[in-house]
Structure 1
């Protein structure tokens, strides 16, 4: 049998750590593990992303207080994201060794969609920054800041999409 590579050892470590955390959080928030409640969390995250993108657009207009709106968006995002991860069992980023074939197929499909969403949405800040730089000669700092917030929002959306899909589509856990 070939010797385990660095990647193999890391995957084994990651699976062990995942299972340890899963055991720790397995009984947390039982009332939020229903599909209906998970859908509320997903809708809350989607609303938060809309707020984040709106903040980035407002920042593009040079409104000096607009970046302060990013803080409430983050204060909403982090708890929603954390709770969704707990109640969905972090299946969106679970190591392969911890999932059965059906869960693995679902997770991989959700990840594929997340990558597609990221690639397509990332065109918005890219085009904004490219055309904005042409029109302003690359001197508009508000445009650069807004483009950075747009890109960050898109990356958050893409990173959260697999867990959001799984949280939305998975049926209620069995009693």
Structure 2
């Protein structure tokens, strides 16, 4: 009787296969943005937008009009985050089967930092919401602001591993950048 791999093994194989297929599709996109310097520009842009989410959330505590700030921030965040993911090869969320040992170690260290960032910022958002709930009169704005803080904290933690890896990964060899000489 042959043993079938369990569901987790099959899922990891599927994730790896899908990751490698997507990597093959996007490997040639944005070749000039794959340098460390340009990736760092994208990391700073993502960090600024994550900070903007926090500012909008805090501002929404005092004025409901601040909540509209989520729209332009999100409209800017989505393409910049997507570009960062493309040029960094999505190593922050890559499955183990798609990475070599060094990449896996770097990814795991960045994920560990991302988890710490997530826990710290979400805890701060929770404590701020709890503390302010006893002293703030308009609970509807407090609920919205607290939700915004928590969402911004989660987004920051989720983005942290990719941001760290994009920042620290050295420039690829020119031979490793498809179509670099053609761009």
Same fold (TM over 0.5): yes
CA contact (8 A) 2:15 2:95 kept: yes
Alignment partner, residue 56 of structure 1: 57
User: CA offsets, 1:101-126, max 9 Å, x none?
Assistant: 00000000000000001111112211
1:95-134 → structure 2 map (5 Å cutoff) = 95-134=95-134
SS at match of 2:5: coil
SS at match of 1:65: helix
Between the aligned partners of 1:150 and 1:79, the Cα distance in structure 2 is: 22
Between the aligned partners of 1:110 and 1:95, the Cα distance in structure 2 is: 14
Number of residues paired by the alignment?
A: 173
Between the aligned partners of 2:129 and 2:92, the Cα distance in structure 1 is: 31
Output the TM-score relative to the length of structure 1. Answer: 0.95
1:83-98 → structure 2 map (5 Å cutoff) = 83-98=83-98
Give unmatched runs, 5+ long, in structure 2.
Answer: 175-183
4+ residue runs over 3 A deviation: none
1:1-40 → structure 2 map (5 Å cutoff) = 2-40=3-41
User: CA offsets, 1:47-78, max 9 Å, x none?
Assistant: 001111000000011x1311111101101110
Between the aligned partners of 1:103 and 1:85, the Cα distance in structure 2 is: 15
Alignment partner, residue 41 of structure 1: 42
Give unmatched runs, 5+ long, in structure 1.
Answer: none
Between the aligned partners of 1:119 and 1:2, the Cα distance in structure 2 is: 39
Output the TM-score relative to the length of structure 2. Answer: 0.91
